Chain A
Amino acid sequence: MASLMRYGRPERFIVPVLILAGWEMFSRSGALPPALLPAPSAVAWAWADWIFNIDGNTQSYAGHWIFDVMASTWRVAAGFAIATILGVALGIAIGWSRLIEVTIEPTLQMLRPIPPVSWIPLAIIWFGIADKPAIFLVFLGAFFPILINTIHGVKTVDRNLIRAGAMVGGGQHQLLRFIVLPAAMPSIFAGLRISIGSAWMLTVTAEMVAVKSGVGYVLWDSYYFLRYDIVIAAMASIGLLGYLSDLLIRMISARVLRWQQGTTLSGSEG
């Protein structure tokens, strides 16, 4: 509800408009060579050509935006999906069973502090230069937040609900499926939202280094060609994609967790 109400409010546009106007004026003032800080209008023009092939000013990228976006989105989706499945499954197992926890957790805790980007050399050696190293990196970045949040969610399930479930005749398997999993959902979604951010970050990083397609590759490639207008258009594209994927998760979450409406504090309105 609150997010719907926000759309009706014009004051949310004030700060972005001011920033864009100031930036446009600064770029045109000639304080810096225009190539170093392209004006928003120049960025918009380059972006439009990248998308629609208007006058071909972005050369080989012209009209190619949708393919770059799909390439990046596919890597994010694949890595994120694998991370979600493994993270939730393993998280539930670790959170539920003390035996599994002591067997697996120490190893995972040792791997966790290693920054995913530091896996890039190994990822290239193992998977070559294509989709796979990027998917692998996305998986690494998304996996741990999902895992940790799922474990937390499972461990904090109200013991009385488990009792109630056992009382109505649930076995171990049913308790996990019908009580532990739904009760852990709020935590799991918190993990998913953290992970989707890392997922985009790592896709772009991988594309800059180890892949020859996608928005991250365009960003790095146009940097070599001194096309900072395209660099900024690529940055904006990544921001947009990140925002949209977070929005998607929030929408799914609002649906799955609609029982929480009214029970949690979701920010004051005004």
Chain B
Amino acid sequence: MATIEISGVSKIFKDAKRKSDVTALSNVDVTVKKNEFLCLLGPSGCGKSTLLNMIAGFDKPTAGTVKVDGQVVEAPGSDRGVVFQQANLMPWLPVWENVAFHLKMRGAMKAERREKAQLYINMVGLTGFENHFPSELSGGMNQRVGIARALLMNPGVILMDEPFGALDEQTRMDMQNELVRIWEEHKGTIVFVTHGIDEALTLGTHVAVMSARPGRIAELIHLDLPRPRDITSPRFNDVKRHILDLLRPSGAAHG
């Protein structure tokens, strides 16, 4: 019942100008089952975004295959909601239009879009900002609009690229709890990129620890810690110590 199957995936970026190729990913195998929450954890530049972009369909692997629900990924599609590292909102649309952008593409009427948008705006805690433009919101608020936009599509798979990177500690914790709540309620498969160990251990059912140059998965860890996760518990810290050990020898652990 695998939702995402990544087998033998390598990605080489050809750099024509500098005549030096970058091997972003080398022979990555990973499977994410339905309703699993996989966190991709690793140092900067280890290929997390690259891997996520290939699942999203923005990029094609140089070798190997990426399948979602048994289908080889060819292009982006609304079965996979993406929350980008930068919010990537349409600056000319107010918040609610951005949230309901999926419905606009499908030609839905304004009343329906407005109503549906409100639901998700409330969910991410932006009630009252419906008619603001992205330039009038903080980075963290924009990020939440991006999350609401992806959730509204009700996709089977949600791909998130460091979505909480721009948030302050308090809001980040709130958003993490909210995300877990939404995920437990609605189910769905999530791939979540982060370089925060605590964040990965708070959220995931699985953590794929990656190493850099070339990017590969060092270890796939199954987390059976009880929820809500207690980041001060001994078991939490055992796993954390193990991951720190994994990251350390790579040399670029804290990039």
Contacts and interface: CB of A to CB of B under 8 A. Distances in A.
Given A259-B93, A262-B136, A263-B135, A169 B106 contact: yes
Contacts of A179: 90
Interface in B77-96: 77-78, 80-82, 84, 86, 88-93
Contacts of A263: 91, 135
A170 interface: yes
Interface residues of B, number: 29
B158 to A, nearest CB: 11
Contacts of B75: 166
A34 interface: no
Interface of A: 158, 160-161, 163-171, 174, 178-179, 182-183, 185, 257, 259-260, 262-263
Given A163-B88, A174-B105, A260-B135, 4 more contacts: A166-B75, A169-B153, A170-B105, A260-B92
Contacts of B82: 163-164, 167
B213 to A, nearest CB: 26
A158 B150 CA distance: 19
A163 to B, nearest CB: 6
B120 interface: no
A185 B92 CA distance: 10
Task: Report, nearest first, the 7 A-B pairs whose CB atoms are least far apart.
Answer: A169-B78, A168-B102, A166-B76, A164-B88, A259-B92, A263-B135, A170-B105
Given A185-B92, A262-B135, A163 B105 contact: no
Contacts of A166: 57-58, 75-76
Contacts of B86: 160
Interface in B89-133: 89-93, 101-102, 104-106, 133
A168 B78 contact: yes
A165 B105 contact: yes
Nearest to A171: B105
B206 interface: no
Contacts of B102: 168-169
A164 B104 contact: no
Contacts of A170: 105
Contacts of A161: 88, 90
